[in-house]
Amino acid sequence: MPERLFILNGPNLNMLGRREPHLYGRTTLADIESRCRAVAEELDFDLFFTQSNAEGQLIDWVHQAYEEAAAVIVNPAGLSTRSVALYDALRMLDRPIVEVHLTNVFGREPLYRNLLTAAAAWGFLAGFGAEVYEMGMRGLAGHLSRGGQPCG
Could you tell me how far CA 73 lies from the centroid of its own chain? 3
Q: Do 81 and 111 contact (CB within 8 A), yes or no?
A: yes
Catalytic residue set: 24, 101
CA 12 to CA 84: how far, in whole Å?
19
Residue 75 assigned ligand-binding role: yes
Residue 53 assigned ligand-binding role: no
**How do strand 3-9 and strand 97-101 relate by DSSP bridges?**
unpaired
Q: Please, what is the angle between helix 131-145 and helix 29-43, to 10°? A: 20
Residue 102 assigned ligand-binding role: yes
The one-letter amino acid code at 64 reads Q
Could you tell me how far CA 93 lies from the centroid of its own chain? 14
Binding site residue list for substrate: 75, 88, 102-103
